[in-house]
A and B are shown apart, each in its own frame.
Chain A
């Protein structure tokens, strides 16, 4: 990992999205799972925000909740999602307001390129349907624009490939198509949910660069959901670290990487190799396993795995986010003096 680039510096920009105390739960036969347990974050225009956490920490569900794409047995049970002056959660999931936003103002790029495209429709059709719907293009216009989009994501022979089917593309190319679909209508914000996890490393890097330049090209913001620290280190302006359905630490990119305060964040960083440290350091994995989210106790969810846990942590409920230093750097921990050295 290289040092976070200078773009990390905060610049004044308008707030685009504000998620306030979002709560989403799943009712399964064993109990109730609070996948998203009071998550709040903001995204500014043209900003790149990283949401980092292990599988199952609720990061994907939180994004699906923003778009109101959560399906049974999941349900959004609380919170507000402010976008362009409106609380999106007060609209019906299938209502015209949400439909106008999806794909046009906020779009999403999913993790699995192999299954995220409809196998019986041509790639061209899957591109043009957004264009025709949101931008009111005619068939001809949409087709031309689709070819341009495919070209811009680096698919050779774009025009000819419009009539091909997804299974005729490799995984990497399918994800490029997903990026094309994501930016087709020039949305204000793109949510990318683990966009490169299913790909090999060389492709990963290429795809990320492509995604960023595409989104930059349409002046959009990006929410990058991932468990890969390396990815956010390079690109994100601000980062939110999630654990067991809550944000445990948030801040500017450099604060998170150089001055982490939550034991989980520290553990994550320790378990990843870094170029700027001496060779031979052993990677330290975080002890234990991710928690069972069914009927969580009110105490800190990281408690069983925390190396610096104290009495307070065992007795009192999980604390709120407390500001630390830097701009917007906050963490949710009783033992921050211990980690602050």
Chain B
């Protein structure tokens, strides 16, 4: 009989070693809508970056001779109540949305993650305080908190970003705190050492691989939410106002002519919806593709 002591009967079935990256890409792009979403985001980003090249007219200066024109070969989506070309303003609005979307998310994600790590790592009173403050922040509807802060800070792109960043920090904090706590639990059980001896850097190194997937999904969703919130803010009149081009304020300016020139309202609103939709799709696609339950085995 063969005395080869390779491996005793193993418990699990081994699946073929599909490269993780390739598998991720395959699952991610499986759904057509995800492809559409990625395409939309790319178009949007390109549109924002190359706005000066794509826009047909100057979006900021008034032209009282061509007020409220219907769509034509000259003005693809007509002109608004001050004679500005709607299409060009739409393109520049993409820029605003880009700044706000990415700017807010980067700021709030970084701050939120740091707070969450601290709360989880230090525990005790620090944890309690940070989490209660987060609870308090979450007690405000995002729009209303952003309203409050924007009222304090004033309008304008930068202040909108700050206001929205503050309003969206709690999401990241909670996530990181939860991940840190669960890592702490595991390490504690396995290593049976006092957590105090675990350096902050090692903790971070352990937390990030686990937190990566939900974090990425959260960020994608947040970009969409932030764009919606900014649109709401500029719609009300706080945030970016004319002559600056923002989809939200464009939409509110068009209400008066809703019955006669509906595209003034619908064009910017649809632009918002499409971009947010794209981010939701991509977020979903990421979540499914990164789901550890779908890795390899049966």
Contact = CB atoms under 8 A, between A and B. Distances in A.
B197 interface: no
Given A28-B298, A307-B1, A286 B9 contact: yes
A285 B2 CA distance: 10
Contacts of A270: 1
A285 B5 contact: yes
Given A56-B13, A293-B13, A307-B2, A30 B8 contact: no
Nearest to A33: B298
B28 to A, nearest CB: 13
Contacts of B12: 55-56, 290
A290 B2 contact: no
A286 B8 contact: yes
Interface string A298-329: 00000000010000000000000000000000
B19 to A, nearest CB: 13
B15 A294 contact: yes
Interface in B34-93: none
Contacts of A33: 298
Given A30-B16, A294-B16, A288 B11 contact: no
A54 B131 CA distance: 47
Interface in A1-31: 26, 28, 30
Interface residues of B, number: 19
Nearest to B294: A29
B15 A290 contact: no
Interface residues of A, number: 21
A291 B10 CA distance: 10
B14 interface: yes
Contact of B9 (A285, A293, A307): A285
A91 B13 CA distance: 32
A290 B9 CA distance: 7
B15 A287 contact: no
B152 interface: no
Contacts of A30: 15-16, 18, 296
B227 to A, nearest CB: 34
Contacts of B14: 289-290, 292
B298 A287 contact: no
Contacts of A287: 2, 4-7
Interface in A30-50: 30, 33
B3 A271 contact: no
B2 to A, nearest CB: 4
Contact of A284 (B1, B10, B296): B1
B3 A284 contact: yes
Nearest to A73: B298
A290 B13 contact: yes
B11 A55 contact: yes
Contacts of B10: 289-290
Contacts of A292: 13-16
A54 B11 CA distance: 7
Contacts of B9: 54, 271, 285-286, 289-290
Nearest to B11: A55
Contacts of B2: 287, 307
A55 B6 CA distance: 18
A26 B15 CA distance: 14
B26 to A, nearest CB: 8
Contacts of B8: 271, 285-286
A277 B4 CA distance: 22
Interface string A160-200: 00000000000000000000000000000000000000000
A17 B192 CA distance: 52
A341 to B, nearest CB: 12
Contacts of A307: 1-2
Nearest to B23: A29
Given A284-B1, A285-B9, A287-B7, 13 more contacts: A30-B18, A54-B11, A56-B12, A270-B1, A271-B8, A284-B5, A285-B7, A285-B8, A287-B6, A292-B15, A293-B13, A294-B16, A307-B2
10 contacts: A30-B15, A271-B8, A284-B3, A284-B5, A285-B5, A285-B9, A287-B5, A289-B9, A290-B10, A292-B13
3 closest cross-chain pairs (CB), A and B: A285-B8, A307-B2, A56-B13
